Structure 1
Amino acid sequence: MPSPPRAAVLAVLASAQFTVLLATSIVNVALPQIRDGVGLSDSATTWVVNAYGLAFGALLLSGGRASDLLGHRRVLLAGLGVFGTASATAALAASPGVLIAARAVQGVGAAAVAPAALALAVGLYAPGPARGRALAVWGAVSGAGGAAGVVLGGLLTRAWGWPWIFHAVAIGSFAVLAATAVCVPAARPADRARFDWAGTATSALALTALVWGLTTARRSGWTDIGVLAAFAAATVLAAAFWRIERTSASPLVPPRLFASRDVTAGNLLTGLFGTVWIALFFFLPLYQQQVLGEDPLTTGLGQLPLALANMLGATLAPAVAGRIGGRATLVAALLTETAGMLWLSRISADGTFLTDVLGPSILVGLGLSVAFVQLTGLSVAGVSGADAGLAGGLANTTRQVGGAVGLAALATAAGSVTSRATGNQPPLQALTDGYRAAFALGAAVLACTALLAALLVRRAPAGDLPHRTPPPEPAAPGRP
């Protein structure tokens, strides 16, 4: 039987990434309905989001390494099965415990799907323009998945009720699983080393403690005893992980992964980039609903210009990089996103979508997508097939952890500004002041990231970023 065209295989793998990101954002606009439908308390409602993010972020490294050792296709299929089953369970949940547990298991499945799918996608093409175009597709789909989740969440909740947001994800997961089984060729694992169980356990627990402490700090404050205990545990576990990795014969994160300057720089910049990415999609819908008074569906539809700009930017990224170089493209993209965030920092309490949201959304979407494509390529540049899944998992981990850090810090800053303004300003103005502060701080972080990119990224990045030299002969489909 002939192998499917690489474009078809890439489409299937990108659909897996789309599904994971869809599940991340699809619940956001439906949280009030989910709370009332299952009987969640206000504090427990946040765990509908946090349970997924915790499991996803904590296990990405393990999922990436498992895919290298067991086979990328095999782990992708297993992850999609777990993800789809957990989604269906969430749709049928009649109690808070079942729903939150199902969301956590969704995160476990996503932690296997994301790095395995990226490793397979990168392995389809040799370094050069062809791989750059594949990463552009990846970036466009990633942006579309996040925005589509907000739109679909509003549509499905209004039409058929909140369980259908999980039914839709389950249906999509099983459809992608079937397509993967048919279209993605099997390949032998690239690495026969033993799995590092001790490193896996300590890294997962350290990341869980860190992300839990950061998400709890948004509600309880940075000096809460539980938050401080979580940070202390994360520090101890991280030290234990470092010691285990130094002595392990088959470490979870092999030192050779950081032999590439591109990989090291890519992960550092991705972590900083993630601090603003996740916070943006947290604060912007809140401003639209709480200040502009939009309903969930209108808020979701308001994300479409950002999504379209995101897809356009990702599509143009390889051509731009081919003309001006990878480093200049990355810096320009980060500065474009910075300009959009600065524009958002000028929102007003009596504003409108057209005057306050549309323009900056387009700028942010263009910059975000191009930066995502370049950083993804940088984070896997020069990595062998034996480490492709781990490299993808590491890049996703730094983005997730960076997002948790950024959201906690920016939410705390926004809350502090709003608290100080309350009593001196009308309520909507106080809220707006807080959101403006968050967007301004996000712009400052992005500007610093652009400066670091100019200093750390080589003028002509090697490996997977698009460049002008002809690529080697393309690899066969299914290469791990």
Structure 2
Amino acid sequence: MPSTLEPPPRATHPPDPNVPASAGADGVRRMDRRQRVTLILLLSASFTLAVDFSILNVALPAIGADVGFSIENLQWVATAFALCAAGFTLLFGRVADLFGRRRVFLAGIATLGLASLAGGLAGSPEVLLAARVAQGLATAAVTPAALSLLTTSFPEGPLRARALGLNGALMAAGFTTGAILGGVLTDLLSWRWAFFVNVPVAALVTTVAPAVLRESRPDRRPRLDLPGALTVTLGLLTAVYGFTTAGEKGWGDPVALLSLAASAVLLAAFWIVEGRVGAPLVPVTVLRRRAVAWGNVAGLLAFLTETSLVFLLTLYLQKVLGYPPLAAGLAFAVLGAGTVAGGIIGPRVIGAVGGRRAIVAGLLVQGVATGSLALLGPESGWIALLLVMSFAGGVANLVAIVGFMVTATSGLPDHEQGLATGLATMSQQVGITMGIPVMSAIVTARVHAAGTASAPAVLSGVGTAILVNAALCLVTAALAAIFLGRDHPS
């Protein structure tokens, strides 16, 4: 079947009167007014959710001192959010398919606003953690619902690729903006404003969305696959908890190993369940499609490598070069600019070479750019290499991510878009969550081998982890080239 990822041939004859007025000379439709408003609305929600992933990282010490968290429990401010955001995303993606994407989107945005207000007003660890759990659940609901509303609002092809490119760019920029904004708000106002900034955005979106977004759900609602939902949600929760624990306490920690083993058993049980129930949460036939299965593998590793690279470079900037947290955050503005540029040019690359080649090329360039950062030394002059190569890697990473989003959501009917976007969002969330523990464990092992946490030991650990990161990019590019299938011309 012809792919719609390639642009149609240029017309060499007078414009067809049957082509809508909103189309260009080549027949490719331009966004109408409703689509533009829909895109702005959904991008605003996606950007806000992305900011939430990183906005509290810089503020954690201030939160601990103000609310009363002990040092050993402070990490739960981030972990509680990540557990829920990654663990429930596939379930909520399917719920959106069955009960209405707009309904789930609006409920999630409203929950995000209320949870953010509660977090900003929290006076105890219990209230703050409950707010973070609610924020994570809201993220798990909104992200796949917003993505499926986006894919069903734009026809498969160049228009959808452009919308997904802008969405990817804004989400990637949101991660970087969160790190910067968290430092600015904590220094100038209070960590509480890292929560409060979500409230007006949630209020605006919930006010405008009902008039702009069209509801979409099947005429006949199948039963929700409860055994599948239970096994996959518990499997993802234990996986995220296992990786997080391993990153904090080492890969030999029995709790981490037990959690990862339990996750493997639960996910295997999920696969068995999906092959036997009448209305599966994730039909096995969908998972057997190369574009869906290998597209999500590539997406997971693309998110894993780039977000964990930010962690490694943060260690380098603060522990080796001695940058304060705010200055380290500002250094990533260049990476943020690269991701925005990658999101903008990604659809053009896909239109020129196809989704598979975009993924492969993006990961190859990202791997080379990342590998060069292993040359970083202890002198401040190395910041120039960091800025140039992080920009190049950011551009390439977003080209690969847009290719993944287009590939993993193409060729499926509208009634399965929530499933497809739920899988894509799950890959994104799990990749983001897995990356830092994996890279942290590599750095920690090198530091322990050196017997000291001195700047040279940290630099050695960071350099080793960067080489592993680059190798993952190159291996993923090879897997995508071999298994993802060919791009066919229109």
TM-score (norm 2): 0.89
Distance verdict in 2 for CA 1:433–1:456, change over 3 Å: same
Tell me if the contact between 2:349 and 2:399 (Cα under 8 Å) persists in the aligned partners: no
Structure-2 separation of matches of 1:435 and 1:366: 22
The answer on 1:439 being equivalent to 2:472 is: no
Match of 1:39 in 2: 68
Alpha-carbon shift at residue 31 of structure 1 (Å)? 1.4
Aligned to 2:319, which of 264, 275, 290?
290
Structure-2 separation of matches of 1:129 and 1:260: 22
Structure-2 separation of matches of 1:361 and 1:172: 30
Which of 1 and 2 has higher RCO (CA within 8 Å, sep 6+)? 1
Structure-2 separation of matches of 1:178 and 1:341: 43
Q: Deviation per CA, 1:150-200: give whole Å up to 9, x if none.
A: 111111111111000010123322222223223212334466111112211
Match of 1:450 in 2: 477
**What is the correspondence of 1:120-135 to structure 2 with a 5 Å cutoff?**
120-135=149-164
Counterpart secondary structure, 1:446:
helix
The answer on 1:147 being equivalent to 2:176 is: yes
Aligned to 1:429, which of 429, 434, 456?
456
Match of 1:96 in 2: 125
Which of 439-448 and 338-347 deviates more? 338-347
Counterpart secondary structure, 1:345:
helix
Structure-2 separation of matches of 1:190 and 1:427: 63
* One-letter identity of the residue aligned with 1:376: M
Structure-2 separation of matches of 1:353 and 1:190: 59
Distance verdict in 2 for CA 1:189–1:293, change over 3 Å: farther
* One-letter identity of the residue aligned with 2:351: G
* One-letter identity of the residue aligned with 1:460: D
Distance verdict in 2 for CA 1:85–1:16, change over 3 Å: same
TM-score (norm 1): 0.91
Aligned to 1:235, which of 244, 247, 264?
264
Tell me if the contact between 2:217 and 2:415 (Cα under 8 Å) persists in the aligned partners: no
Aligned to 2:419, which of 387, 390, 393?
390
Structure-2 separation of matches of 1:300 and 1:191: 49
Q: Deviation per CA, 1:79-135: give whole Å up to 9, x if none.
A: 111111111111111111221221111110100000000001011121111111111
Counterpart secondary structure, 1:247:
coil
Tell me if the contact between 1:292 and 1:349 (Cα under 8 Å) persists in the aligned partners: yes
* One-letter identity of the residue aligned with 1:279: S
Structure-2 separation of matches of 1:87 and 1:282: 25
Match of 2:446 in 1: 417
Tell me if the contact between 1:271 and 1:398 (Cα under 8 Å) persists in the aligned partners: yes
Tell me if the contact between 1:348 and 1:356 (Cα under 8 Å) persists in the aligned partners: no
Counterpart secondary structure, 2:75:
helix
Match of 1:13 in 2: 42
* One-letter identity of the residue aligned with 1:37: D
Aligned to 1:109, which of 135, 138, 153?
138
Structure-2 separation of matches of 1:304 and 1:191: 48
Match of 1:53 in 2: 82
Which of 19-28 and 315-324 deviates more? 315-324
The answer on 1:180 being equivalent to 2:213 is: no
Structure-2 separation of matches of 1:252 and 1:325: 30
Alpha-carbon shift at residue 149 of structure 1 (Å)? 0.7
Residue identity (%): 36
Structure-2 separation of matches of 1:238 and 1:60: 15
Alpha-carbon shift at residue 427 of structure 1 (Å)? 0.8
Match of 1:372 in 2: 401
Which of 111-120 and 319-328 deviates more? 319-328
Aligned residues between the structures: 459
Match of 2:24 in 1: none
Alpha-carbon shift at residue 459 of structure 1 (Å)? 2.9
Counterpart secondary structure, 2:197:
helix
Structure-1 separation of matches of 2:202 and 2:430: 25
Structure-2 separation of matches of 1:35 and 1:135: 37
Match of 2:3 in 1: none
Tell me if the contact between 1:341 and 1:443 (Cα under 8 Å) persists in the aligned partners: yes
Aligned to 2:486, which of 426, 447, 459?
459
Structure-1 separation of matches of 2:180 and 2:220: 41
Q: Deviation per CA, 1:346-387: give whole Å up to 9, x if none.
A: 222233463242111111111111111001111111111111
Distance verdict in 2 for CA 1:126–1:191, change over 3 Å: farther
Structure-2 separation of matches of 1:283 and 1:395: 25
Match of 1:218 in 2: 247
Counterpart secondary structure, 2:380:
coil
Tell me if the contact between 2:366 and 2:393 (Cα under 8 Å) persists in the aligned partners: yes
* One-letter identity of the residue aligned with 1:447: L
Alpha-carbon shift at residue 321 of structure 1 (Å)? 2.4
Structure-1 separation of matches of 2:151 and 2:220: 17
Structure-2 separation of matches of 1:340 and 1:459: 26
Distance verdict in 2 for CA 1:268–1:56, change over 3 Å: same
Which of 343-352 and 7-16 deviates more? 343-352
Structure-2 separation of matches of 1:436 and 1:240: 39
Tell me if the contact between 2:46 and 2:171 (Cα under 8 Å) persists in the aligned partners: yes
Structure-1 separation of matches of 2:264 and 2:349: 41
Match of 2:334 in 1: 305
The answer on 1:329 being equivalent to 2:366 is: no
Extract unaligned runs of 5+ from structure 1. Answer: 462-467, 470-480
Counterpart secondary structure, 1:382:
coil
Which of 18-27 and 407-416 deviates more? 407-416
Aligned to 1:399, which of 428, 434, 439?
428
